[in-house]
Structure 1
Amino acid sequence: MEATYTGAVTPSGQPAVRELTGLTITKYAVDPQMANNCYLLRCTTTGAQLLIDAADDAPALMELTGGIVDTIVTTHQHWDHHRALADLAAVTRPMTVAGEPDADAIADATGVEVTRRVGDGDIVHVGDVALEVIAIAGHTPGSICLLYTDPDGHPHLWTGDSLFPGGVGATFGDAEAFATLIDQVETKIFDRLPDETWFYPGHGGDSTLGAERSSLPEWRARGW
């Protein structure tokens, strides 16, 4: 699967599956209008499962996960990233994870308590696999990315709505928020991680840091 994975999915279409040494990544898109990406990570040693963004369509996500989810991570507080959280949590009883500054907003919107509030450098486990939290403010105050440093390959990074192919996430005309976002994406992601890092955003297709790196000055100059 590794050789054929492209990250191209369509809402309610077939998932894209990537097999790493200790981790299986399944990407699935929901909602034709918003085209949110949901990512199911499965530890191949223990079978533990972690879902990144229960964005919508709880029945489809229940089928995707087999009704077993140990952890649900919500990358940020925006409504389109947690519409299925309440329904999935009611059945699977997972640990729920979100960035500290966004946790109250997520809980208020969904009625689901955030059982673990995380910040920069915290580790979230899916079975034997460790995912490092990278806090990236700007799109929302508590947006988080998750980094898997594959010992047998390149890094993998789930970016929520903080980084996409072609630019950083929306800051809705807020110049200060944009400055924060572009600064943190540059220093915490591009300055730290190698070109071969593959990243998985909250909407649309994937990319690598190497494919986007040369565009950073252009993004900064245009202000979005």
Structure 2
Amino acid sequence: MFRRFSQFTSREWYSSDRVHENIWKIRETYIDEGHGCNMWLVRGRDRNLLFDTGFGFVSLRRFIGEEVSRNVVAVSSHSHCDHIGCNHEFECRCAHSAEAGVLANPTAANTIYEPYAVPEMVGVPIDPLEIKDHRIAPAAPTRVLEDGDVIDLGDRAFEVIHVPGHSPGSIMLYDRADQILLSGDAVHNGSRGIGRTRWYHSDHDQYLASCERIRNLPVQACHAGHYPSFDGKRYLQIVEEFIDRQQ
């Protein structure tokens, strides 16, 4: 029997694991790791950071809780549908200027919801119309980001690194003090490697230039938008393998 998204509680739909002190990975439990993104919650002294918000099928704010959510800065790695679905639940929203317009006026096309979101990505029987009819809620950024901007949490800060290629406004967030990188979809440890630019606004040359720029970034831990996290040695290997393939 098919289920509807409204029948899931937030506690049932999402799961979380602590990966560092005050850093949690949040996942949509029933969506495969290739389609469903990793969301990263960082607790800070003065405010909290939420990097990406999933598809928006079920409330993420309820899962995180009001105490944390009231003081969250929700930052989008980019404007693809699997990363921005619950942005509208949070008052403070940040994204790169190149994709601010998509977040304000999302469509099935400009968020790649079609053809990306398919019933097969969900590991429980869901009414196919629930997938087909879902739409990303408009949520214009309240702060527009550029390369080099800083998200200050009080006791730690994350630097915005603009990495166009996967999409025009793709960004990573870098904690320079601890060398922790939240890489979005720019760098990940998927079996097919990085650098796929099949989406309508992807650009191979920009992706290559971004990788050349970030190849020597000092990284202790990289937490990506999909797939498991990895260390700095693997980060360098992933980036250099992509660059070498272009020779």
Instruction: Report the TM range for the smaller structure's normalisation.
Output: 0.7 to 0.9
Q: Counterpart amino acid of 2:196?
A: A
Matching residue within 151, 166, 178 for 2:204: 178
Indicate whether 1:106 and 2:129 are aligned: no
**Residue segments in structure 2 that go unaligned for 5+ positions in a row:** 1-11, 107-136
Q: Any conservation in 2 of the 1:155–1:198 contact (CA below 8 Å)?
A: yes
**What SS does the aligned partner of 1:164 have?**
coil
Q: Counterpart amino acid of 2:48?
A: Q
Q: Distance in 2 between matches of 1:182 and 1:69?
A: 36
Q: Counterpart amino acid of 2:24?
A: T
Q: Distance in 2 between matches of 1:71 and 1:58?
A: 19
**What SS does the aligned partner of 2:140 have?**
coil
**What SS does the aligned partner of 2:198 have?**
coil
Residue 227 of structure 2 is matched in structure 1 by 204
Residue 190 of structure 1 is matched in structure 2 by 215
Q: Counterpart amino acid of 2:154?
A: G
Residues 138-166 of structure 1: CA distance to partner in whole angstroms, max 9, x if unpaired? 0110111100123xxx4011111111125
1:222/1:104 CA distance change after superposition, 3 Å = same
Is the strand fraction higher in 1 or 2? 1
Residues 43-84 of structure 1: CA distance to partner in whole angstroms, max 9, x if unpaired? 1x33x2121111135434422244434311011011111111
Matching residue within 161, 168, 171 for 2:194: 168
Q: Distance in 1 between matches of 2:83 and 2:160?
A: 18
Residue 43 of structure 2 is matched in structure 1 by 42
Q: Please tell me the root mean square deviation across aligned C-alpha atoms, in Å.
A: 2.4
Indicate whether 1:157 and 2:181 are aligned: yes
Q: Counterpart amino acid of 1:52?
A: F
Indicate whether 1:145 and 2:134 are aligned: no
1:136/1:65 CA distance change after superposition, 3 Å = farther
Q: TM-score, normalised by structure 2?
A: 0.70
Identity of aligned residues (%): 25
Matching residue within 147, 151, 159 for 1:132: 159
Q: Distance in 1 between matches of 2:148 and 2:80?
A: 22
1:173/1:29 CA distance change after superposition, 3 Å = closer
CA deviation after TM superposition for structure 1 residue 127, in Å: 3.1
1:221/1:173 CA distance change after superposition, 3 Å = farther
Report 1:58-137 matches (<5 A).
58-66=58-66, 67-86=69-88, 88-89=89-90, 93=91, 95-109=92-106, 110-137=137-164
Residue 8 of structure 2 is matched in structure 1 by none
Which is higher, the Rg of structure 1 or of structure 2?
2
Residue 51 of structure 2 is matched in structure 1 by 52
Residues 111-154 of structure 1: CA distance to partner in whole angstroms, max 9, x if unpaired? 2121111111111122332110000000110111100123xxx4
Q: Distance in 2 between matches of 1:116 and 1:36?
A: 22
**Residue segments in structure 1 that go unaligned for 5+ positions in a row:** 1-10
